[in-house]
Structure 1
């Protein structure tokens, strides 16, 4: 599984790079804020929302600490998606939130 740090994601966003970020935290966690532009699909619903995702795009998967996003990344990878897990999750995120 490919991995990227929160700092690397922040650097890419600050450079204006268009990223497809998938936040798999629960709704109450996302209320605290999410990375700008991130799409929220709770981990338990990812398998049911596969049709909403585009296999031609690369996704960066995010959760609170990196565990759930790792599970989501494994699932999506097994279904043919190009995904990268953000290690450390939102606990490591120091950038702005929306």
Structure 2
């Protein structure tokens, strides 16, 4: 009986990890050049924590941490593209899944995240 419980727990853990890190279906990755060219056409959202945002962010980005996305998603328009980034990609993926579940469809992710950004950066 214990063996079955352990197997079930491991299976649940693996399923959660796979779900969390798989890209959200419909989330489109953009290379830096394309992302930079699209900045004025959409809503630029930094989903990192406030201290990371203050340490440096893409010029024009709004900070909506992934942990606050559920409460603040109404700040985002559904009729305009959403361009998101985090340090890498996992938090952007989490935020995109939440937004898509709530009817947002035009969502883009900066391929490589902020850690690879070569454009203008603002520090607060």
- Aligned partners of 1:85, 1:7: CA distance in 2, in Å? 13
Greater CA radius of gyration, 1 or 2? Answer: 2
SS in structure 2 of the partner of residue 28 of structure 1? helix
Counterpart in 1 of 2:57? 34
Gaps of 5+ in 2: 1-26
Distance 2:116 2:34 in 1: 11
Indicate the structure whose relative CO is greater, using CA pairs within 8 Å and at least 6 residues apart: 1
Aligned to 2:5: none
User: 2 CA distance for matches of 1:44 and 1:59?
Assistant: 17
Q: Note the C-alpha offset of 1:66.
A: 1.3
Is the contact made by 1:7 and 1:94 (CA closer than 8 Å) also made in structure 2? Answer: no
Partner of 2:35: 9
TM-score (norm 1): 0.86
Shift of 1:70: 1.2
Check conservation: 1:23, 1:38, Cα contact below 8 A. yes
The structure where strand makes up a greater share of residues is 1
| Structure with the bigger percentage of helix | 2
Q: Does 1:71 align with 2:94?
A: yes
Output the CA distance in 2 between the equivalents of 1:23 and 1:75: 15
CA gap of 1:31–1:47, structure 2 versus 1, over 3 A, is: same
CA RMSD after TM alignment = 1.6
Q: TM-score normalised to the size of structure 2? A: 0.70
**1:31 counterpart SS class:** helix
